[in-house]
Structure 1
Amino acid sequence: MTLDAKVIWKSGLAFTGTANSGFTVNLDSDPAVGGSDSGLRPMELVAIGIAGCTAMDVISILQKKKQDVTAFEVKVTALRAPEHPKRFTDVEIEYVVTGHNIDPAAVERAVELSETKYCSAIATMRGCVNFTRKITLHEATS
C-alpha cells in the first residue's frame, strides 16, 4: 500500500497539504520564524497523527469488547530536542475514557494492543522516541 502526500506552496512559509484521501490541510509556521500563522505546524500534524492513529485503534477495540464508552479523547504531549532538527524526544499519550462501567483491564489491553501491534504512527517512531502512557477513566453521569 502506497501513501502519497504533497504540499503546494502558497506564499511565505504557507502550504496546502493533500494526500490520497483528497482532504487538505493548511500548513504554516510561527511569525517569529517567517510564517504567517495561517495553519498547523508540521510537527503538530505528527502529534495529531500519533493521537489519531492510536485513538482509532483503541475505540475500535473497546467497541468490539462491548464497552459503553460515551466520550473518548487522546491527548499527546511531545517534548522536542532544543537543537535542530528539534525532533520529538519524549511523547506522553493520555487516553481519557468516559463511559458506564468501563472495565479498566479492557482499556489497558486496548491501549497495549494499539501501541504494540496496530498503530503504525507509533511503530514508525518506536526506538527514536520515548513513549509513555497515562489512562484516565471517568464514570459517565448520564
Structure 2
Amino acid sequence: MEGKVTWRQGMSFTGEAASGWRIPIGTSRDHGGHDDGAAPMELMAMGLASCSGMDVISILKKKQQAVTDFEVKFQIERAKDHPKVFTHIVLEYVVTGHSVDPAAVERAVELSTTKYCPGYAMMKQVVPIEVKISVLEA
C-alpha cells in the first residue's frame, strides 16, 4: 500500500491513496486549523468502522439477508494527556431490513472481528473494543 499526504496550508493536507482517491485532512479552528477536513484520528476511527462494515455487509449479502440500511456507529474515548491515544472503542452495528436474521448479523460481525478485518485486528491489540449489535425491521 502506498500513498501520501500533501500540505495545503496551515494544518490542512490532502491525503491521496495509490488508487487516486483523495480526502481532505485538517483540524478545527480551535486547534489551529481551518475546519476544512476530517481530523487524522477521525479518519482512523472511520477506517476501523468502514473496514469492519464492509466485511459485515458483504457477508450479509452472501447470506441473502434483505438489508435496506446499515451503519457502524463508533464512540471513542481518548486519553486526556498527549498523545491522547484511544482508550476505549465502542462499535455499534445497526442493521435495518426485512426479516433480517439476528443470528446471521451476529455471525457476520463475529467473522469480521475475529477473522477478516485487519483494522480491527490491529486496533484490538492496543485498545479495548466493545461491540454492540442492533437489528431493526424496515
Same fold (TM over 0.5): yes
Aligned: 1:41 with 2:44: no
Matches of 1:124 and 1:23, distance apart in 2: 23
Post-superposition CA distance 1:61-117 (Å, at most 9, x none): 011111111111111111111111111111100011011111111100000000111
Structure 2 counterpart of 1:93: 91
Q: Percent identity?
A: 54
Matches of 2:3 and 2:132, distance apart in 1: 32
Q: CA RMSD in A?
A: 0.8
Structure 2 counterpart of 1:73: 71
- Find the residue that maps to 1:37 and give its secondary structure: coil
Correspondence 1:1-142 to 2 at 5 A: 3-140=1-138
5+ residue gaps, structure 2, are none
Q: CA deviation at 1:126?
A: 1.6
* AA of the residue aligned to 1:6: K
State TM-score, norm by structure 1.
0.94
State TM-score, norm by structure 2.
0.97
Matches of 1:126 and 1:42, distance apart in 2: 19
- Find the residue that maps to 1:40 and give its secondary structure: coil
5+ residue gaps, structure 1, are none
- Runs (4+) of structure 1 exceeding 2 A deviation are none
**Number of residue pairs matched by the alignment:** 138
